[in-house]
Structure 1
């Protein structure tokens, strides 16, 4: 789904319209086709923002495979960014990657290790993240952490690290990652997700429309800066950016 602001004359208020185009984020061809559709619709105007919200898990109501989780949650945003970054306004464009507190929980369980440092410090390359994911997948258990098993946490931790990579490789574009909170969706049915979808938007709206103080930062569901190494809940201290080790 994408929006355009159309203003045929200065006397007429801009009319907001919403258009949709289908894209399968696990398919290079599908994502590229969607980008071509959006480019044509924009008619030469730049795209303001990309929101990567597609996600899945082996738990809950989705029942995806381990490979499907990684392909959707980790490789999917990369495919979308590769296809749509050329359409973004290079001066004011934004990327909002929808992460999860499960990513911080995954990093927290790693302890004070080089793995954790790589996922936090922000200088991992895309190739390094890919190699890390490939190495970790055979060791991940599907039987823990309920609706958010370790494979899901791995995918979201690496998505946050990829967001930091985007900030370094595309400094003119503001890239952010955020947690919407534990939202009541088909994926969380029976696992306690109680917040309605409309309450999952504050962090996304902040990353899209507010003045941001940093690039590549992670935000909690309350829109406050949050750490990469544990799940910060609303009301807790705002993350100061200091590495814990």
Structure 2
């Protein structure tokens, strides 16, 4: 049985592995689709991070950075963020919950449906460039180490202050290396190099930016260690 989930202006089709937003179909990468589908299937409760990891990545080790990047990609597909949380709410120390109203439609009760999934050439996707114009995009995701565990140990206001301090540090560092901050979440930032303008050495700039971020965070880490009595608030 094919089930489709309607929420807000979206419809997730479990047969097409795609998301409809009233204007166009957007195919989703497998893990992004799987995370979104699992949260929709269990929208009546909070889903623990460990449960998501066990279901989506069985018998695999997935670090906080990879997990947070995937969750960020899910939110981006829904035009949601870790700050607005219109669809996916983070409950620190507990997990995640899909908070929008969800309607499940099975085959026999679908009624009017969006148009069929178009050919790959017309699906919403990054614009295809001629061979001579194609370029590589370098992606950097920098997050606080073990942010979920840190959130459980600190009160919400203290944790928020730490995240804001980290975001401000990233804001100061990334532009120096032509880094384009795409999105912030409760644990880190997603940065593109070689976007929106292409430039040589995007990967090199990303590495330098990462090292500069570590160096810039050291004074803040020392301050937090003194104020909170914690030595290991690292990136």
TM-score by length of 2: 0.25
- Greater strand share, structure number: 2
Q: Which has the higher contact order (CA 8 A, sep 6+)?
A: 1
TM-score by length of 1: 0.24
Whose radius of gyration is greater, 1 or 2?
Answer: 2
